[in-house]
């Protein structure tokens, strides 16, 4: 038995808007954290690269 197309579209729309709302909230609440996270990732990857050179 297939779903009513209108019901299906509404369900997908609701899931999409809920996801967008979550992402918007995260961007508002943690701008400094996300910037710091990027910096941490760069530092981690560069130190990982340095340790690879030491291993060789």
In angstroms, the CA 11 to CA 8 distance is 5
Tens of pLDDT along 5-51? Answer: 889 999 999 998 999 999 998 888 765 555 555 555 555 555 555 55
pLDDT at 19: 92
- Domain residue spans of the chain: 5-55
Q: What distances in angstroms separate CA 28 from CA 13, 23, 35, 44, one per listed residue?
A: 22, 9, 12, 26
pLDDT at 56: 58
pLDDT at 9: 92
Cβ neighbours, 10 Å, residue 54? 6
In angstroms, the CA 25 to CA 34 distance is 13
Single pTM value for the model? 0.33
């Amino acid at each position: 038995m297939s779903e009513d197309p209108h019901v299906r579209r509404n369900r997908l729309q609701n899931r999409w808007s809920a996801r967008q709302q979550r992402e918007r909230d995260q961007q508002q609440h943690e701008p400094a954290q996300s910037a710091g996270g990027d910096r941490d990732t760069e530092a981690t990857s560069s130190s990982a690269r340095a340790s690879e050179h030491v291993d060789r």
